[in-house]
Structure 1
């Protein structure tokens, strides 16, 4: 399977209260993902809390993941950082460690211009040497890539894909048609935002960058396969099974909900990095209720 296509699962990065990685728990998450048969793993994405980790912990996380999954499932590594120098360092480290691809978001404190983002990507893509996916995530970075900027970036060496947010107007097909007309042949367009996964895949999106697949890869894979085989009715049925969970993702943010899911599934009790707070007990009960219909897929 070509990198940046199919189902890409994004796991949490489990850390203790001092901010240190729990490598055994990370590897349990990864083993579950690999065993399900997903197409790739998105390590240190937003679900992996990369922005809250030191460079050293990110490098430790990468090495623990490579040790666990190397040669079995392609590994895409998030390398977003506030400065270009650090992002370049992370890109080189990912290549050296044995990652298969890179995911780059333009983190910032000062708002960035399009030219600043272009030059940032130009430098980091050259430093890493691996296939790189543009991470268009305005919900966290507050920077929205214009279609023209994506088209310009797509001409850079190593920049081969984009991870798009859900379009506000729901016109996935129209957006993809415009992007494909502006980008080189073979440039890959995929979407994040789990509650829009069914629609983006049915409209022709090449990849679902999935939060929930980081802990529940089986139902996410079932939804992806239903679309791939042209079974829109089954895809709709599975998506409706997810609906209570999608509602919680929208209400609380998927990052917070994933910690509650990990606890509900019996992995461990660990909390989000402060200042992010864990869900309250009553809301965790709602998460448990939303998960029950999905257990039919986990065997």
Structure 2
């Protein structure tokens, strides 16, 4: 399940709770497109803003409406105790895999991060994806630490941040990491603007924000790259460059939330306070981009 396109949908919500109907609507777009896997309760799923009961409900809905597509559940939390509880909830609900980032308020050491993964993997019966996201966790994995964690039982993928933009440097980065981990652990790229070059450089998966909203175009990019049609994949990604620039300017979560709201897929607002959506000027800019790109699904 850790290859191809893994689509990460929003968890639409407001201060009254989770918008279950909107979440199901987003899931149905993914199952209709037949993405390779569905990742819920990652950063795009706003997991950090939800309590245990809410996260369990999102997990249950995702598994119920996945239509046989593998579902990966984010189990990240501040305390190891809570991660273990979330892992238990995910496994009991029928998750096919789990996603774990080293979330913390205090800066973590490499020994503390390794201990987290060592402890959690001992409790698992499903595979785990390591979530390397320094922009939110403020922890940077060394390749040596990735290698050490990748040797733990049940670790099957590493979700890395965006690779360098040029293909030669991207290949060097992927090969540098691959030297520390065995080939039974996949490397998946995140940071949607870097997905095509990452896949062309040797990543086996794309963990995608946009894929959670527009799976068809993201599947085309993924299929092209994994089939060796690198120029085609780059061209398809370049077509979306105006969106990638919006992601960089405003943050991918705010942009996809605004798109979902503007398309009537979710209510408005769809993000938890204190997060705020795009202002009217940014929404007009985004609307023009969506019109020019002629995105459907």
Range of TM-score over shorter length: over 0.9
Say which is worse superposed, 144-153 or 171-180, in terms of deviation.
171-180
**3-state DSSP class of the match of 2:156?**
strand
| Bigger RCO (CA 8 Å, 6+ sep) | 2
- Gaps (5+ residues) in structure 1? none
- Match status 1:159 vs 2:155: yes
Q: Does 1:45 align with 2:42?
A: yes
C-alpha separation between the residues in 1 aligned to 2:268 and 2:115? 38
Asked if 1:105 is matched to 2:104, the reply is no
Q: Following the alignment from structure 1 to structure 2, what is the Cα–Cα distance between the partners of residues 188 and 221?
A: 18
Runs of 4+ in 1 over 6 A off after TM superposition: none
Q: Please, which runs of 5 or more residues in structure 2 have no aligned partner?
A: none
User: Residue 136 of structure 2: which of 132, 140, 158 is its match?
Assistant: 140
- CA separation of 1:153 and 1:294: change in aligned 2, threshold 3 A: same
Q: Deviations over 1:135-184 (max 9, x none)?
A: 00000000011100000001110011100001457522112212222112
Instruction: Check whether the contact 2:165–2:194 (CA below 8 A) recurs between aligned residues.
Output: no
The aligned residue for residue 276 of structure 2 is 277
Shift of residue 186, structure 1, vs aligned partner: 1.2
How far apart in 2 are the matches of 1:86 and 1:28? 29
1:36 is the counterpart of 2:33? yes
Residues 1-299 of structure 1: matches in 2 within 5 Å? 3-18=1-16, 20-70=17-67, 72-167=68-163, 171-271=169-269, 272-295=271-294, 298=297
Q: Match of 2:157, SS?
A: strand
User: How many equivalent pairs are there?
Assistant: 294
1:222 shift after superposition? 1.1
User: Secondary structure of 1:163's match?
Assistant: strand
- SS of corresponding position for 1:260: helix
CA RMSD between the two structures: 1.4
The secondary structure found in structure 1 opposite 2:14 is coil
Q: Contact 1:21–1:60 at 8 Å: present in 2 too? A: no
Stretch moving more, 56-65 or 177-186: 177-186
Report if aligned partners of 1:94, 1:128 keep a CA contact under 8 Å in 2: no
User: Normalising by the residue count of structure 1, what TM-score does the alignment of the two structures yield?
Assistant: 0.94
Deviation at 1:294, TM superposition (A): 3.8
* 1:125 to partner: Cα distance: 1.5
CA distances 1:14-60 after superposition (whole Å, capped 9, x unpaired): 11323x22212111100101111110001000000001111111011
Deviations 1:191-237 (A, max 9, x none): 10000011101111100100001111111111111212322332232
